[in-house]
Amino acid sequence: MSGGPRPLRAALAAVALAALAFGASGCGDPLLWERWQAERALWHARAEAAKLPGAKAEPARVEQVAREAERVRLAYPAARWASPPAAGGAARHVALASGGAALLWAELPARGGDDSTCAARLAVVLEEYAALSAITIPAHLSRAAALQRLGRFDEALAEREAVAAMDPMTDDDLGGPAPEVVESALQAAHELERRGMPERAEALFAATAARYVESAARVHGRDSLVLCDALALLHVHRGLAAEALAGGRRALERAPQGERAARVLVMAQGALDAGAPDSEDHYARWAAQIGSSRRVVGNALFVAAQAWERLGRADSAIAAYDAVLRRWVDPGALGAPAHFERARLLERRGDWINARAEYLALSASQPTHPLAFRAVQRLVQHPFEQGEAELARVQGQQEIEKLGYLVATNFDPQVRRQAGLVRAELLLVTGQLAGAESSFVALWRQFPGDSATEDAALRGARLGAHLPGGAARSREVLEALSRRALDPVVRRSAAEELLRLTEQ
């Protein structure tokens, strides 16, 4: 027993001596020692942060870890290391370690539920590390999330717009285009459109696209391809499918041989978006011919099926989905979509017997797949649409019981959430209004901070307002949503509903 600790002490002593020797010599560069110390201190701070619970942590413990991160930030101040940023080498890594510690110090209060302090500290980080985009990009996005949780939606939007306004090649430490730029542009534009500001959304799209065109003109190789792909994505979201397709052709000319099948597939999808099903079918067939992976060939068959459907040839579209299921013993991730799309087309064609069989097979074989939940809804909604209310109620009750069992036994929170939402919808469809109301609201309480469950709670409150004794319950839910909903549209709608209830 007494001999056990000695090898460990000897090993630790050896490590300490090596570290001292490294610090003394600096390997010819004293900045290497600074880098080692800074990165080691940041690693320790992050290790302590990783020990905090995933749910809301004890504020005192959070602040203790934040102080450790702050010590690193103050030991390597931005004024010395990150303003202006070092051109490269060890000093650059010290700056990044300092900025990483500053981000940790700023973001940690949110782990304890203090978003106000988090937002305030992130503003400090943005000011101190303005010259280091590797720090400012995540700082803007973290601050946007904190402000969103606080209900300061305009400020959150401004943070995303700030990232969207950056040069996509701004992050020297990433070694390529920063994906957060185009992602922030899409999120901000979507938010503007939801607020009824399409002109601002279009201006944001246009300005971001112009920056991508400018950046693509001055780079080559892989970076150029990544920028072209992002530009095509912006065009698609602006509804400029023809421009997206033209960009795809330019990217195809520069792409390595091994990527061509996947890029031809992207062009097939672009032709679909452009409303050119003949071209879409041509590109899809080309991708299927030159592709070798199940992902490329299978998706090419999917795009071809969509082209046939656009051309009014449902039989050919069904045959394309059949080809996906026949070509591979296990079609993998393509199996459920192929079954669902085949069922949808059969239903549209009036062949409900075979469509129903497909929906039932999908819901039985992959009950937790998102498309299986949609299949369940069609199994109940179709007979209602055909005037067969009693059949729909019987089928609906069976599916409600199955979904209830899934909610009670599945460990995946996303599966429970989706199953619960569909179950509540079926309760509503089958006329069980009180059950639908309580289910919608219960989902929101179980999964707070989720736009789908916030919308569900709003629907539940609207239902409750018309049920006996439900007005008080509705007011309670609407008051909470009007104060705490993360979705600004839900928050505004809840406030309007609450006002209407008060005036009645």
Whole-number pLDDT of residue 79: 85
User: Other CB atoms closer than 10 Å to residue 387's CB: what's the count?
Assistant: 8
pLDDT surpassing 90 at residue 239: no
The string of pLDDT tens digits covering residues 458-476 is 999 999 999 998 899 999 9
Angle (CA) 124-127-131 rounded to 5° is 135
- pLDDT reading at 27 higher than 60: no
More confident residue, 344 or 292: 344
Please give the single-letter amino acid code of residue 104: L
**CA 117 from centroid of its chain's CA atoms:** 25
* Per-residue pLDDT at 173: 63
What are the tokens at 337? 């979509």
Interatomic CA distance for residues 432 and 20, integer angstroms:
74
Does pTM top 0.75 for this prediction?
Answer: no
Q: Is residue 213 part of a domain?
A: no
**Integer Cα distance of 449 and 486 in angstroms:** 6
Q: How confident is the model at residue 281 (pLDDT cuts 50, 70, 90)?
A: low
Q: Is 76 contained in some domain?
A: yes
- What pLDDT is attached to residue 502? 83
Residue 69 lies in a domain: yes
Reported as a single tens digit per residue, the pLDDT across 362-376 is 999 899 999 999 999
| pLDDT reading at 4 higher than 50 | no
99 in a structural domain:
yes
The residue with greater pLDDT, 337 or 26, is 337
Q: pLDDT digit string (tens) for 102-136?
A: 999 999 999 888 999 999 999 999 999 988 888 99
d(CA 17, CA 251): 54
pLDDT score of 17 more than 60: no
Structure confidence at residue 123 (pLDDT) = 96
Contact (Cβ atoms closer than 8 angstroms) between residue 136 and residue 114: no
Q: Are 170 and 184 in contact (CB under 8 A)?
A: no
Q: Which pLDDT band holds residue 274 (cuts at 50, 70, 90)?
A: low
**What is the mean predicted confidence (pLDDT) over 205-217?**
85
pLDDT digits (tens, 9 = 90+) for 34-81: 888 888 989 999 999 888 887 677 888 889 999 999 999 999 998 888
* 43 in a structural domain: yes
More confident call, 179 vs 161: 161
CA nearest to 62, candidates 81, 48, 78, 41: 48
Beta bridge partners of 85: 82
User: Which residue from 2, 94, 116 is spatially nearest to 39, judged by alpha carbons?
Assistant: 94
Distance from C-alpha of 249 to C-alpha of 266, rounded to nearest angstrom: 10
Say what the pLDDT of residue 326 is: 84
Q: What is the share, in percent, of the chain residues with pLDDT greater than 90?
A: 45
455 vs 130: CA distance, rounded Å: 38
Whole-angstrom Cα distance, residue 380 to residue 427? Answer: 11
Summary mean pLDDT of the chain? 84
Q: Are 412 and 368 in contact (CB under 8 A)?
A: yes
Average pLDDT over residues 366-395: 94
- Look up residue 183 and give its two tokens: 């992602």
Question: Which one, of 70, 192, 135, lies nearest residue 143 by Cα?
Answer: 135
pLDDT of residue 28: 52
Is pLDDT of 219 > 80? no
pLDDT at 328: 80
Evaluate the omega torsion of the peptide bond into residue 337 and state whether it is cis, within 30 degrees of 0. Answer: no
**Angstrom distance (rounded) from CA 495 to CA 9:** 65
**Given 3-state DSSP classes, what are the helix, strand and coil percentages for the chain, each rounded to the nearest 5?**
80, 0, 20
Domain span at residue 50 reads 27-151
Instruction: Transcribe 440-470 into DSSP letters.
Output: HHHHHHHSTT-HHHHHHHHHHHHHHTTSTT-
212 belongs to a structural domain: no
| 35: CB partners within 8 A, 6+ apart | 90, 91, 93, 94, 97
Does 15 fall in a domain? no
Query: Token match 């080692």: residue?
Result: 36
Residue 72: burial class (beta carbons within 10 Å; 0-12, 13-18, 19+):
buried
- For 16-42, what is the HEC assignment? HHHHHHHHHHHHHCHHHHHHHHHHHHH
Range in 170-184, 340-354, 410-424, 465-479 the model is least confident about: 170-184
Q: Is 2 helix (H, G, I), strand (E, B) or coil?
A: coil
Residue 276 — pLDDT band, cuts 50, 70, 90? low
Burial class of residue 340, CB neighbours in 10 A (0-12, 13-18, 19+): buried
* Residues 326-346, mean pLDDT to the nearest whole number: 90
More confident residue, 250 or 15: 250
- Name the residue with higher pLDDT: 294 or 422: 422
Using CA atoms, how far residue 369 sits from 162, 362, 413, 416, in Å, is: 37, 9, 13, 12
d(CA 229, CA 270): 12
Total tally of structural domains belonging to the chain: 1
Q: What is the mean pLDDT of residues 278-283?
A: 67
pLDDT in tens, 290-304: 666 777 777 778 878
Distance CA 354, CA 346 (A): 7
CA end-to-end distance (rounded Å), the chain = 80
Classify residue 392: in a domain, yes or no.
Answer: no
Top-confidence residue, 266 or 486: 486
Task: Check if the beta carbon of residue 126 is closer than 8 Å to that of residue 466.
Answer: no
